[in-house]
């Protein structure tokens, strides 16, 4: 099986982000705006307005009434499912748009919003992948348990312990291996070949597991470090200052003041999180597109070679 050109893939990921930054922003700004409107509208509708003014519920009893607890968790129980669904659609939309750029299907993009077939294919593919994760773990755990039960009367105790440890490690590692191998190329297969190609993504990922892991780490770790530094500079001083005011057992009034002090930090946190998400998505799209094109050269490239 062909292997990903590691250095070229990593270089292409960062080149895509920094040289196509205008098209990257043009691809994601409208979906992110729609997502922001959905989140803000949902929060406005389901979150009690007193919370936005720092009037949070306080529980004086160590064993609060279930109705009081439900009043706190109800906004999240009502608001999270539609927000998560819209978020999955928006994530699929942005990845499709970015991959069209990375694969060379689109030259430039300054406004992008699509609910076309590829977006729904990618959404379904990702849902199937999540279901496969669950299935893989059930099967792996079942095989490990069955193996330990069958081996116990057949081998010495020390050998049985070693075999059990090996089976447990295999049960943990194989689902991770299978998901990583499929997930990396799955978006490219959907966008380039217009199909939910789990098997095709599995084939392309063959002999590339560690290369995919390394590409992922080289993308996520630097972006995470930069985002963490910005968070520390912007948020941690305020957070630390507020925490220092607490005594051993803060009163409800002190907790309310603490949360009110944190409210102005929410836009900063969301802004950094959004920028981090854009950077990681763009870098991953650049890496996936470069790796896919390297393993699937165009006919004219084959002829030239």
Each domain of the chain, given as residue ranges in start order, spans 6-296
Gap between the Cα atoms of 58 and 256, Å rounded: 9
Gap between the Cα atoms of 68 and 299, Å rounded: 65
Among residues 262, 220, 215, the alpha carbon closest in space to that of 240 is found at 262
Tokens representing 187 are: 């978006």
Query: Residues 18-58: pLDDT tens digits?
Result: 999 999 999 999 999 999 999 888 888 887 776 665 556 66
HEC string of the chain equals CCCCCHHHHHHHHHHHHHHCHHHHHHHHHHHHHHHHHHHHHHHHHHCCHHHHCCCCCCCCCCCCCHHHHHHHHHHHHHHHHHHHHHHHHHHHHHHHHHHHHHCCCCCCCCCCCCCCHHHHHHHHHHHHHHHHHHHHHHHHHHHHHHHHHHHCCCCCHHHHHHHHHHHHHHHHHHHHHHHHHHHHHHHHHHHHHCCCCHHHHHHHCCCCHHHHHHHHHHHHHHHHHHHHHHHHHHCHHHHHHHHCCCCCCCCHHHHHHHHHHHHHHHHHHHHHHHHHHHHHHHHHHHHHHHHHHHHCCCHHHHHHC
pTM strictly above 0.75: yes
Query: Residues 172-195: pLDDT tens digits?
Result: 888 899 899 999 999 999 999 999
Gap between the Cα atoms of 122 and 190, Å rounded: 6
Ranking 7-21, 229-243, 250-264, 266-280 by mean pLDDT, the lowest is 250-264
The residue among 289 and 255 whose pLDDT is bigger is: 289
Query: Residues 110-131: pLDDT tens digits?
Result: 899 999 999 999 999 999 999 9
pLDDT at 305 (0 to 100) = 42
Check: CB of residue 295 under 8 Å from CB of residue 2.
Answer: yes
């Amino acid at each position: 099986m062909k292997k990903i050109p590691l250095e070229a893939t990593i270089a292409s990921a960062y080149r895509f982000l920094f040289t196509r930054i205008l098209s990257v922003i043009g691809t994601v700004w409208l979906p992110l705006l729609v997502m922001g409107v959905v989140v803000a509208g949902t929060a406005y509708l389901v979150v009690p307005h007193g919370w936005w003014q720092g009037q949070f519920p306080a529980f004086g009893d160590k064993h609060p009434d279930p109705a009081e607890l439900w009043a706190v968790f109800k906004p999240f129980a009502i608001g999270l499912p539609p927000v998560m669904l819209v978020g999955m659609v928006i994530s699929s939309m942005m990845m499709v748009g970015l991959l069209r750029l990375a694969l060379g299907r689109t030259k430039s993009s300054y406004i992008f919003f699509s609910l076309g077939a590829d977006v729904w294919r990618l959404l379904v593919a990702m849902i199937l992948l999540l279901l496969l994760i669950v299935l893989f773990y059930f099967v792996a755990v079942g095989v490990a348990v069955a193996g330990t039960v069958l081996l116990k009367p057949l081998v010495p105790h020390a050998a049985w312990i070693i075999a059990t440890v090996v089976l447990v490690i295999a049960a943990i590692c194989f689902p991770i291996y299978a998901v990583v191998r499929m997930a990396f190329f799955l978006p490219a297969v959907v966008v380039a070949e217009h199909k939910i190609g789990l098997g095709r993504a599995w084939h392309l990922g063959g002999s590339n597991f560690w290369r995919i892991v390394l590409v992922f780490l080289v993308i996520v770790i630097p972006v995470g470090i930069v985002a963490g530094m910005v968070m520390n500079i912007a948020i941690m001083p305020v957070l630390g200052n507020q925490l220092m005011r607490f005594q051993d057992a803060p009163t409800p009034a002190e907790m309310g003041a603490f949360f009110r002090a944190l409210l102005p930090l929410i836009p900063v946190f969301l802004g950094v999180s959004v920028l981090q998400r854009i950077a990681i998505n763009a870098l991953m799209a650049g890496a996936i597109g470069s790796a896919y094109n390297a393993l699937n050269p165009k006919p004219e490239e084959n002829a030239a070679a």
